[in-house]
Structure 1
Amino acid sequence: MSDFKDMVQADIKEIFLNFDEFGEIHTINGEEVLIIVDENELTEREKRTQAKDGELHRKQLLFYVSAKDFGALPSPGKLLVLDGKKYTITDAENEMGIYSISLEANRS
């Protein structure tokens, strides 16, 4: 029997990023990729965003993607284009072969 890490790697697409259950195809930097957008985290972050009328505030987004599909783990501060919109990467972590990537964009 394989070890736990091998089982997790095998389950990334079949369970964690299963298109029929959770994942959606989005365009990231010109490539179509299966990701999961974390709506709960997005909602919590939006609640914490405070802006007065006319001021810029930041839109925040968190998504999960297979490391194999995405490539190298991106560094915070780099730009990423998601579905034609430009974001700055604020955080990126490798969670056993699944990247958790946090984004931020200015909006008025």
Structure 2
Amino acid sequence: MSFKDSIAADLDVFLNTDEFADEHILGGKKIRLIIASDTLNGTPLPHAEGVSLWRKVIYVSCVELGYRPNEGGLLDLDDQTYEVVNVDEQAGLYVITLEANVM
């Protein structure tokens, strides 16, 4: 087995819904992904009364998603629109940081 084959097999375990991943709607497509962190969830923004900052870091297969999201663009995750803050590619996965201001 080649190293690439080994990594692909590991992705199947990592993104298995019986192990780590869950199905979500990302960009209008049902897809397996991992939400690794929900940071600043509900943190009030000092300059905007009644608005909170929500940030999520997700891991999704590059192949399954089918495209690289644009930083600064918008992406819907489970009926919530987020700004794409950062996209990094690591061993066949996109690590995407999403951010939204929610009232």
- Structure-1-length-normalised TM-score: 0.82
Aligned runs of 1:32-51 on 2, under 5 Å? 32-38=30-36, 41-42=37-38, 45-46=39-40, 49=43, 51=45
- Which structure carries more strand by proportion? 2
Answer whether contact 2:44 2:53 (CA < 8 A) is retained.
no
- Structure-2-length-normalised TM-score: 0.85
- Which structure carries more helix by proportion? 1
Aligned runs of 1:1-108 on 2, under 5 Å? 1-2=1-2, 4-13=3-12, 15-38=13-36, 41-42=37-38, 45-46=39-40, 49=43, 51-52=45-46, 54-108=49-103
Deviating above 6 A after TM superposition, structure 1's stretches of 4 or more consecutive aligned residues are none
RMSD between aligned residues? 1.9
Number of residue pairs aligned between Structure 1 and Structure 2: 101
Structure 1 spans left out of the alignment, 5+ residues = none
1:30: how far off? Answer: 1.3
1:71: how far off? Answer: 1.2
Match of 1:69, SS state, is helix
Q: Percent identity?
A: 35
Structure 2 spans left out of the alignment, 5+ residues = none
